């Protein structure tokens, strides 16, 4: 039976979602009831390889990590704006957020300050932040080749873990945390990552009315 199920999963190229964790403080409803404006921070990104590519460049990899951090932030902002009427708070424009972070000298070094300090710089009631970790197990070219040869099987390029947190501006208290680990494929983009995660979190997202 297990062997048959494994074969079916391979044939239909189903992507596995391997891990999910959710945390919320007991009085979260009372905490967020006082919030009106929430900022979305860039998501610090780490990209690692099981086997380092031949022409690997540490500088290029770091540049890609910084780019991905902003892309995840942008995708999150776009997703929340599309469904704004469903939420009890407004979300600060990320251009304003990033400009204020840049003026404070912490745009690419968010771990140098606490969440309540960052919230005060941004003038918001809470901050949405997190991190994105991506482990590459296969090059994109290799994944494409496998997908072509095996008809969609083998398109997995690695795995990603996205952590999403909400911290209160008053004392920086962690109010809510969501973590999801998922398989990457050759078709995955930052929009896909956020869309997939938010579909899973929507029932537990504290700002849902």
Angle at the Cα of 124 (from 119 to 129), degrees rounded to 5? 55
Mean of the pLDDT values across residues 142-156?
38
Give residue 104's pLDDT band: very low, low, confident or very high (50, 70, 90).
Answer: very high
Question: Is residue 2 domain-resident?
Answer: no
Question: Is residue 208 domain-resident?
Answer: no
Q: When comparing pLDDT for 193 and 88, which is higher? A: 88
Question: Is residue 47 domain-resident?
Answer: yes
Distances (CA, A) of 113 to 45, 91, 106, 117, 151: 17, 21, 8, 6, 48
Question: Is residue 27 domain-resident?
Answer: yes
- Model's pTM, two decimal places? 0.78
Looking at the 3D structure of the chain, how many domains does it have? 1
Question: Is residue 7 domain-resident?
Answer: no
Question: Is residue 72 domain-resident?
Answer: yes
Q: Which domain holds residue 196?
A: 15-201
Angle at the Cα of 176 (from 92 to 106), degrees rounded to 5? 50
Angle at the Cα of 198 (from 196 to 201), degrees rounded to 5? 120
Q: When comparing pLDDT for 159 and 4, which is higher? A: 159
Report the CATH number at residue 195. 3.40.50.10610
């Amino acid at each position: 039976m297990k062997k048959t199920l494994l074969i079916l999963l391979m044939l239909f190229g189903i992507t596995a979602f391997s891990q999910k964790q959710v945390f919320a403080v007991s009085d979260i409803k009372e905490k967020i009831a006082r919030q009106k404006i929430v900022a979305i921070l860039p998501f610090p990104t780490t990209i690692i390889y099981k086997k380092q590519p031949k022409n690997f460049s540490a500088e290029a990899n770091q540049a890609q990590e910084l780019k991905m951090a902003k892309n995840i932030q942008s995708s999150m902002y776009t997703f929340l704006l599309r469904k704004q009427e469903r939420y009890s708070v407004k979300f600060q424009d990320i251009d304003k957020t990033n400009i204020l972070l840049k003026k404070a000298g912490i745009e690419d070094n968010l771990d140098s300050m606490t969440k309540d300090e960052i919230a005060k710089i941004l003038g918001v009631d809470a901050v949405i932040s997190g991190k994105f970790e991506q482990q590459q197990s296969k090059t994109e070219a290799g994944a494409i080749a496998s997908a072509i040869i095996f008809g969609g099987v083998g398109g997995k390029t690695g795995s990603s873990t996205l952590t999403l947190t909400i911290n209160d501006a008053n004392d920086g208290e962690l109010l809510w945390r969501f973590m999801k680990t998922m398989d990457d494929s050759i078709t995955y983009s930052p929009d896909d990552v956020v869309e997939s995660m938010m579909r899973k979190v929507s029932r537990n997202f504290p700002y849902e009315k």
